[in-house]
Copies of this chain bind each other. A is one copy, B any other.
């Protein structure tokens, strides 16, 4: 329960720290100080020290953070020290690209099931996964899948979300534009590609 007090902004930076520590692990570095990390990540060293201090005192003044221990610790905090299975709903172009996305595995994330409502897609393969009927979403709990990626058209997003939550999903990465209602017990992260791109012209 104590983790609940950590600001979301800190949690959001942890994957970036984990990526840096994992790289340092690969480079066989034993320790790294917050100043070196700050240069790598383009952050303020004070920010880094503050973020990492939420999880106990990993670092030693004048020595820095032990690379392996800290990487392991962050992995543990983010629950990425075991494979986290994710369902993907929506086997369109974006969904298909996500199944093949190479970046997930380095975080121990695995897309373990793909669903679509289009009868023409059901039964076909994406990579090593067979597209399943959306009617089978109810079975997610039994398969121990509690995370889902939503890559369906906007008009289907809320009803699919409701089904996912009924099936025990408690974390949702949502690519559908518009507002999705989820209970407070479900963590939802929205990635609205068009909104993000539409901000750029303002700065021209």
Binding site for B on A (CB under 8 A): 3, 11-12, 14-16, 18-19, 40-42, 77-80, 84, 86, 92-94, 96-98, 100-101, 103-104, 106-107, 109, 146-147, 149, 170-173, 177-179, 181, 187, 189, 191-204
Not counting A11-B199, A42-B179, A170-B203, a sample of 16 additional A-B residue pairs whose C-beta atoms are within 8 angstroms of each other reads A12-B195, A15-B199, A78-B198, A94-B97, A97-B97, A98-B193, A103-B192, A104-B193, A109-B198, A147-B200, A147-B201, A171-B204, A173-B196, A173-B197, A187-B199, A187-B203
- What CA separation (Å) do A23 and B28 show in the bound complex? 54
Q: Find out whether the CB atom of A15 lies under 8 angstroms from the CB atom of B203.
A: no
- What CA separation (Å) do A100 and B97 show in the bound complex? 12
Cβ contact of A14, chosen from B15, B77, B199, cutoff 8 A:
B199
**Nearest CB in chain B to that of A101: its residue:** B193
- Given contacts A77-B202, A79-B201, A204-B170, A107 and B15 within 8 Å (CB-CB): no
- What CA separation (Å) do A191 and B177 show in the bound complex? 15
Q: Find out whether the CB atom of A197 lies under 8 angstroms from the CB atom of B78.
A: no
**Nearest CB in chain B to that of A177: its residue:** B103
- What CA separation (Å) do A171 and B146 show in the bound complex? 36
A100: chain B residues within 8 A (beta carbon): 93
Q: Find out whether the CB atom of A171 lies under 8 angstroms from the CB atom of B201.
A: yes
- What CA separation (Å) do A56 and B6 show in the bound complex? 37
Q: Find out whether the CB atom of B193 lies under 8 angstroms from the CB atom of A193.
A: no
**Nearest CB in chain B to that of A19: its residue:** B177
